[in-house]
Amino acid sequence: MGRLVMKFGGTSVANLDRIRNVALHVKREVDAGHDVAVVVSAMAGKTNELVEWCRDASPMHDAREYDAVVASGEQVTSGLLAIALQAIGVQARSWQGWQIPIRTSDAHASARILEIDGGELISRFKDRKEVAVIAGFQGISPQTGRITTLGRGGSDTSAVAIAAAIHADRCDIYTDVDGVYTTDPRVVPKARRLEKIAFEDMLELASQGAKVLQVRSVELGMVYNMPIFVRSSFDKPEDIDPHGTPPGTLICSEEEIMENHVVTGIAFSKDEAQISVRQIEDKPGVAASIFGPLADANINVDMIVQNVSEDGKTTDLTFTVPASDYGRARDTINSAKGKIGYARLDSATDVAKVSVIGSGMRSHAGVAAKAFGALAARNINIRAITTSEIKFSVLIDAAYTELAVRTLHTLYGLDQV
């Protein structure tokens, strides 16, 4: 007997039949004697529809009212799942973020969780054996008393934070895949599912393009040492032994993994744009004059490469930004041209970032050099490189993305045997 948080994404609750299927998954864990809190997303496509309604109503809409609208998708799902559970004899009630409460910052549409009071949920587990069905993605700002939302994928973050608040044994993330793979199986059919992956590795995979989990949810799991189990919601509930270990991937501390491979996985992202600022004066403060305005505009800069100055007077500086921020980034740099003093601005949107991730890199030399050689053998040109202790990334032409991923996946022995 333990305490679980079960999180179900939009595809898992896309219609009433799938919501009834989710109810059977929950009933299985309740019948096994567990205290259960369920966190749900909006039904598939519903959040996009609500966002479009806000944009159609007014392109310059109030962010507070935007949150009030888009948070309603999860409210509908939580109510429907509570009804479905009650219909099969499971005591349950729905909770909105403000009712628990989940206290957040007042940064509407991208709020961060400050505190969760899990006391009422815990007491209801003890007194009523009641399943808590919680609307994910949302909270309340103590400063304003207004509903807030946590940004795309925020239900993952809600689930892990609630698991920490109620002292759960584990947080199960049910999704449309049966775990975390060494890379996208649609690109590399030989990709294999990982039984366990360290928080640090998963954090890098998520931040470098893997779409399985929201980055902040993994950060919270690491901070609170909350095991996260990624599993499929499409497995038949009646075929799963609640006391056994179903197919999936456990995200846990590095100490719980017997053997770390040198490379854990390959991530990639085509959502990249490259900007090169040419012939800027090679002197202190120039980089700040470029990246300061970008930071003020809330544009996230990723890879940065500065060429060595040949004459000691001018140099080139290249960096990448998300493709969605490409236009704003160019406009921001153009607006600051007088202060920066560059000769030319070059850019490209047909680029992709491929990242190699693995905690084992800490104790192995030459991991990146092998990749550079393998990519060169395939005539794949590298535009930029960044490295960290457990990851390195290369920027390449987007047309070569799949070839690069397959090449590196085989190079590091990740192909399924």
- How many C-beta atoms surround the C-beta of residue 162 within 10 A? 28
- How many C-beta atoms surround the C-beta of residue 51 within 10 A? 16
Q: Is 181 annotated as a binding residue?
A: yes
Phi and psi at 351, nearest 5°, equal -125, 160
- 132 token code pair: 């808590």
- 352 token code pair: 């992709």
Report the candidate in 344, 298, 338, 336 with the shortest Cα–Cα distance to residue 317. Answer: 344
Q: Is 93 exposed, middle or buried (0-12, 13-18, 19+ CB in 10 A)?
A: middle
Task: Assess contact for 355 and 204: CB atoms under 8 A.
Answer: yes
Q: Is 231 annotated as a binding residue?
A: no
Report the candidate in 169, 176, 166, 10 with the shortest Cα–Cα distance to residue 81. Answer: 10
Q: Is 321 annotated as a binding residue?
A: no
DSSP 362-409: GG-SSHHHHHHHHHHHTT----EEEEETTEEEEEEEGGGHHHHHHHHH
Partner residues linked to 181 by β-bridges? 193
Q: Is 7 annotated as a binding residue?
A: yes
d(CA 223, CA 139): 20
Task: Assess contact for 342 and 277: CB atoms under 8 A.
Answer: yes
- 342 token code pair: 């560059």
Q: Is 34 exposed, middle or buried (0-12, 13-18, 19+ CB in 10 A)?
A: buried
- 31 token code pair: 């019948």
Q: Is 176 annotated as a binding residue?
A: yes
Q: Is 125 annotated as a binding residue?
A: no
Q: Is 47 annotated as a binding residue?
A: yes
Q: Is 211 annotated as a binding residue?
A: yes
d(CA 346, CA 236): 53
Binding region for substrate: 47, 74
Binding region for ATP: 7-10, 175-176, 181, 186, 211-212
Binding region: 7-10, 47, 74, 175-176, 181, 186, 211-212
